[in-house]
Structure 1
Amino acid sequence: MTSSRRRVPTGPLTDALADLRAELEVPTAFPPEVEQAAEAAAVRGPRHDRVDATDLPLVTIDPPGSRDLDQAVHVAAEGRGFVVSYAIADVAAFVDQGDPVDEEAWVRGVSRYSPDRVIPLHPRALSEGAASLLPDEDRPAVLWTIRLGADGDIDDVAVRRATVRSRAQLTYAEAQHAIDLGTDPMLVRLSRVGRLRAEREWVRGGVSLALPDQEVHRTDDGTFDLRYRAPRPVEEWNAQISLLTGIAAGTMMADAGIGVLRTLPAPDPDAVQALRQRAWALGLPWPREIPYAAFVRTLDPHEPVEAAMVSLAAVGLRGAGYVAFDGETPDEHRHEALASAYAHVTAPLRRLVDRYGSEIALALHAGVRPSGWVLERLDELPKAMARARGRAGALDRAVLDLVEAHVLAPQVGRTFAATVVRTSDRGTDVQLRQPAVTARLVGVELPLGTEVQVRLDAVDAAGRTVVFVPAS
């Protein structure tokens, strides 16, 4: 998700969102000294020697109105393969260890998002200004050059500091339209690489779950609703470029025995066995010789029963974290959903850890030890990111609960069509068709995948709770 500068609506829900941020102690403003330091860095300009890559016709692809642009991409053909150029905002060109912007970034850890505003990791003078890869502006970047074979496998990786200039700021809709019409050869190549990388993920044994995307949507008149959003194909292809870069960085770190990796453990065997039993109960045969990832890839989230299984299968992809190391790569260093080592390096405007990951990758490619400021706080990163992601997750969950309650409050007594997606000793979870709400029926047991009618029985907007019951 990236930030956008749009009119902030006023009204009861907007007031409730402000109260929620206060309740969760979300820092909505930067201390004056942090703002001043960011503005001074923006005026001073970037540091570090870098090559001139402004002739590279990069573009950014983001949601409409985005200003914190971390990545710009270009894909060229090379024989039967491809050259992926991926420019990442160089935050370290503006931020020193221990300066006010750095210290505040350690406090925040990540950018946080509400429907009415973004709480950025860095002041906007940097995140939406001097460090952002805005179009038609010379910007400092960490430039990855990744050569791929005809099958999409990595042949060669280089990473260096560069000055870049994005040629265009595209929305996902604009990029998808150009790909569909075939009017932009570079974007067509990006789609080909995206498909190839998704195939390589499958070959490695990785798995991506097509979970329903519940989105809080802000309308032009300032009101909010909840929708299930079907991502455009270009979003997946663009994401594959980011994953490709993270895999390249993670592999470098794992091979060198120094770095900070994003990790995810393999699914617990007992949990997988329980999933097998649920699959058979749903009438979805899962032979013992078929592993978890291969089975999940067969599921169609548009079919009610299989959508329920996709939701259940998410329990196999839990426990993500970070591991930092210097001297020996730990045994548990892989991201099992990607079936590879993987590092976060592509969103430094929005995640603290990415600035450090980029510095480590630059040093490893140059054949030198990472800078002292990187090593000094390397061991602190996993805990700092866990705290930050925990706070961001708490805000995300509370925002969804709040918006659900406000959207549904005028509809008490109404009946909704829904599908049973999960059962437990706490009740049955159902996914409404519209609005985009997953609700729990307490004390009710229904078969997975069943299409049911449920009635909204009560709403407590202040308490952020809703009560559904089976429709009689």
Structure 2
Amino acid sequence: MPIKRVWAPQIDFSVLRRELRLPGEFPADAMAEAEAAAREGRLTGADRTDIPFVTIDPASSTDLDQAMHLERRAGGGYRVRYAIADVASFVRADGALAAETWVRGQTVYLPDGRIPLHPAVLSEGAASLLPEVERAAVLWTIDLDADGAIAEVGLERARVRSRAKLDYEGVQRQVDAGTAPEPLALLPELGALLARRAADRGAVNLPLPEQEVERAGDGWRLVLRAPLAVEEYNAQISLLTGMAGAGLMLRGGVGLLRTMPAPKPEAVDKLRAAAGSLGMPWPAGASVGAVVAAVDPGTPRGAAFLDQAAELLRGAAYTPFDGAPPAETGHGGVGAPYAHVTAPLRRLADRFATEVCLALAAGEPVPDWAREALPRLPKAMGDSDRLAGAANRGAIDLAEAVLLHDRVGETFEAGVVDRDEPRGNRPPGGTVALDEPAVRARCVGDLPLGERVAVRLTTADPATRKVEFEHAG
């Protein structure tokens, strides 16, 4: 699906910072600790600088958590080397910086700038896996057989040196041309294999285009961006590492899993009924994941079906355990036990989960500072997840309202992606998605799911960030 762009005027996002009480500057003592840690360098572990790692991130990113190297194994299969920024080497467990990261929980992104989990001197400097400099890393070495199943997992602290900072669009062009660099040449093959394995085990991946607010000259534009194939392949490497981490934790009897209940049978039945009404094929015996993977999100009916499928992915949580495994160990979206261990620069939980995995892999006791933090992390991460979600949704709602403010009364063509469940005296309606501008909003009226309809804009209020349409007949 091509990228859709429209121009937007100037927008003041500072209202969201005030309303959500987002953190500002780091406290002086936390900042001093970060600057001291950056000066010291903190390089430890095995020398793995001979491995030609590369990073893949959005072009503007400088907080680089992961670097990758892929190769074939002698005799068949694959070797995945995944270097993760060793943030714990820079953050003293009992220090002021550690305390501040508990307040923040994760990096929050707004169109006009990020609110980082760690000071930029670390997150965009000494701890980031920037190219052509030695960096401290936690190195996962995951051997897979020819079918993509995990054969062996190794984990160590190491010194690494990335050779290049690559971006998704550039890598996609190289993959399409068959010129991807050696560390990534296997990414399409291995990523596709892992995606097929995920679908076979019932994982549900929703390839929905994302609404984003981007800077455009002195103003802003609203963008509907479909994920590139290499983003999915890259995500599969991260998911593979998270599954390897969960396996270490479950075998070791301590850890922090990212869990989600499997879709309930009645929810799957409801989705199957929606597929029938939308004319979406559901072959006999096909899993939800396989059906979803075959859907084209660029069509109105495909977008509506995926919107319905999102209802299956509810109830994600962080689940700590110490001793017997928890009652719920799986993640319905992944189709397997899974842990967050690949983004410690941007997510608090990963620093502790990684330290647990390092100790278990070495057959050593888990450090007290990491073990004792596990029960506290679900609340800290839950609070920060809600805050990050509110910031993202608020920014998009504000951009939509500002963009459409002068167009109340106009009629647009839109696809119906959801219908409201009947509720009391509430008028019938649902959610519609416009192509130009890339807006999703509530619409009042009797809406045919998965069809294109004419809708009239009735409300676009920047003050309340509310946008609403009515069915135009």
> Shorter-chain TM-score: what band?
over 0.9
Cα-to-partner distance string for 1:399-442 (whole Å, 9 max, x where unaligned):
11111111112333332211111111352211111222111112
Determine the structure 2 residue equivalent to 1:466. Answer: 467
- Could you tell me how far apart the structure 2 residues matched to 1:263 and 1:438 are? 29
- Could you tell me how far apart the structure 2 residues matched to 1:287 and 1:167 are? 45
Determine the structure 2 residue equivalent to 1:104. Answer: 100
Residues 3-402 of structure 1 correspond to what in structure 2 (within 5 A)? 12-14=10-12, 17-46=13-42, 49-79=44-74, 80-183=76-179, 184-219=181-216, 221-284=217-280, 286=282, 289-402=285-398
Structure 1 range deviating more: 343-352 or 301-310: 301-310
Is residue 437 from structure 1 mapped to residue 439 from structure 2 by the alignment?
Answer: yes
The answer as to whether partners of 1:224 and 1:407 remain within 8 angstroms in 2 is no
State the one-letter code of the partner of 1:378. L
- Could you tell me how far apart the structure 1 residues matched to 2:29 and 2:400 are? 38
- Could you tell me how far apart the structure 1 residues matched to 2:218 and 2:198 are? 41
Determine the structure 1 residue equivalent to 2:5. Answer: none
The answer as to whether partners of 2:442 and 2:467 remain within 8 angstroms in 1 is no
Cα-to-partner distance string for 1:164-198 (whole Å, 9 max, x where unaligned):
01101111122122222222233221221111111
- Could you tell me how far apart the structure 2 residues matched to 1:338 and 1:357 are? 18
- Could you tell me how far apart the structure 2 residues matched to 1:45 and 1:29 are? 23
How far residue 458 of structure 1 moved from its aligned partner, in angstroms, is 2.7
How far residue 212 of structure 1 moved from its aligned partner, in angstroms, is 2.4
TM-score, normalised by the number of residues in structure 2: 0.93
- Could you tell me how far apart the structure 2 residues matched to 1:237 and 1:282 are? 29
- Could you tell me how far apart the structure 2 residues matched to 1:175 and 1:385 are? 32
The answer as to whether partners of 1:178 and 1:187 remain within 8 angstroms in 2 is no
Identity %: 50
**Number of residue pairs the alignment of both structures matches:** 458
How far residue 267 of structure 1 moved from its aligned partner, in angstroms, is 1.2
How far residue 287 of structure 1 moved from its aligned partner, in angstroms, is 6.9
SS in 2 for 1:13: coil
Determine the structure 2 residue equivalent to 1:3. Answer: none
| Structure 2 residues without counterparts, runs of 5 or longer | 1-8
- Could you tell me how far apart the structure 2 residues matched to 1:297 and 1:128 are? 35
State the one-letter code of the partner of 2:446. E
- Could you tell me how far apart the structure 1 residues matched to 2:363 and 2:349 are? 21
Change (3 A) 1:181 1:293: closer
How far residue 307 of structure 1 moved from its aligned partner, in angstroms, is 2.0
How far residue 12 of structure 1 moved from its aligned partner, in angstroms, is 4.9
Structure 1 range deviating more: 179-188 or 364-373: 179-188
**Structure ranking higher on relative contact order (CA contacts 8 Å, 6+ apart):** 2
How far residue 301 of structure 1 moved from its aligned partner, in angstroms, is 1.8
Cα-to-partner distance string for 1:199-227 (whole Å, 9 max, x where unaligned):
111122212112221111222x1311112
Determine the structure 2 residue equivalent to 1:428. Answer: 430
- Could you tell me how far apart the structure 1 residues matched to 2:188 and 2:284 are? 35
How far residue 288 of structure 1 moved from its aligned partner, in angstroms, is 7.5
The answer as to whether partners of 1:215 and 1:436 remain within 8 angstroms in 2 is no
State the one-letter code of the partner of 1:66. S
State the one-letter code of the partner of 1:13. I
